[in-house]
Amino acid sequence: MRIFSAPSLLPERWNMKIKISGIERHSMVNGPGVRYVLFTQGCPHACPGCQNPETWDIQKGKLYETSTVISDILATKYLDGVTFSGGDPLFQPEAIKEIAMELKQHGLNIWCYTGYTYEEILHEPSEARREVLPYLDVLVDGRFVLSLKSENCLYRGSTNQRLIDVPRSLREGKCVEITKLNYGL
């Protein structure tokens, strides 16, 4: 079964590969508005109680060119934004950066879920995950913690996870959490 229906119409420069677990073209639960959700394959965190454990193993899922993913997103009508979920999208940071860069040029709102904290991303030796940040609007950070699970966390599973306003955080040089319930578009 093919996940993507749109042929790639993008320049050859977008030819990186990404492992995908699945997609949801019109989600209303993975961020504000109508969103395209890209579920990446591969996650090093293996959080107990994770809602997507089938996405942990990087050997599973299907391999796609980023140009195919980008074309499918841009061909999908009535979107307010895109959400990267998984797995952990930042387990494949180069491909996520490539996709996010192109989508930003088309004015899409971009959210990314990750088990890494904002601070871990900023201070790790590798720059790859850090280089994704300028293309995100919101980072939902932190590992899912089953003992902190709450139905009252907007767009999050456990109370330790944060909704981070990435552009403002980068401008102010500190982590800025989102507290308004209608934030995002």
Asked if residue 126 lies in contact with residue 107, where contact means CB atoms within 8 angstroms, the answer is: no
pLDDT value for 12: 54
Give me the CATH code for the 17-172 domain, please. Answer: 3.20.20.70
2 pLDDT above the threshold of 80: no
Residue 66 tokens, joined: 């980023």
178 pLDDT above the threshold of 50: yes
Beta-sheet pairing, 109-113 with 138-141: parallel
pLDDT value for 153: 87
Q: Give 111-160 pLDDT, tens digit per residue.
A: 999 999 999 999 998 899 999 999 999 999 999 999 999 988 889 999 99
Q: What is the mean pLDDT of residues 58-62?
A: 94
Q: What is the mean pLDDT of residues 28-51?
A: 94
Average pLDDT, the chain: 90
Complete edge-to-edge strand list for the sheet that includes strand 109-113: 62-65, 17-27, 35-40, 81-85, 109-113, 138-141, 162-165
